A and B are shown apart, each in its own frame.
Chain A
């Protein structure tokens, strides 16, 4: 299994720009971009909590475990 980040989907559903999310959760736009593309080793619980709060969602809406092809 691998973890896939579905942040793009949630941002589209909430009609929010990555820049606005970055401003609201207090991380750089570059880091949000890395997170969206899944080019990160991990995500801190407090970052995840901030994203969930801003996007009004659950961690499972942002992260998904999928089988490795």
Chain B
């Protein structure tokens, strides 16, 4: 069970990585990125009809940044699970990957907050003076995410020290 878990996770992460592209294409084809769909995704915002399609595209592109970060984190995860599959859990490579995943999750949490702020700013940029919005959304889920990501970074750092110690021990008979 313990041996097969990294294998299951390895293939699951690859499935997500491979599935992300058709999913994105599917979302594009289903009209999720159309201006009306974007308006529907921000029901609390008053978005001016004068906002050009280019700004909607900018909003979508900004919204794709967390996706890109998420995919990068998934890629690091598959590399970590690949090491675990081959019994190389306590190595410097694995430790660096854990720290990288933690950093990636931290960046992901930050980009979630920043992209939402930028999207509200872009979507209301064509509004009349006094109707433009700069909204920062930061709640318990973000705090929990940042705490978990910070914990992973700390664990990664500890693992690097542990892996160095193991490397040292390997040379002692």
Contact = CB atoms under 8 A, between A and B. Distances in A.
A24 interface: no
Contacts of A47: 173
Contacts of A35: 173
Number of chain B interface residues as a range:
under 10
Contacts of B171: 40-42
B168 interface: yes
Contacts of A44: 172-173
Interface string B40-62: 00000000000000000000000
Interface string A37-68: 00011111001000000000000000000000
Contacts of A27: 173
Interface in A8-32: 27, 31
Contacts of A43: 172-173
Interface string B101-118: 000000000000000000
Across the A-B interface, the 6 shortest Cβ-Cβ residue pairs: A41-B171, A42-B172, A31-B173, A40-B173, A43-B173, A41-B172
18 contacts: A27-B173, A31-B173, A34-B173, A35-B173, A40-B171, A40-B172, A40-B173, A41-B168, A41-B171, A41-B172, A42-B171, A42-B172, A42-B173, A43-B172, A43-B173, A44-B172, A44-B173, A47-B173
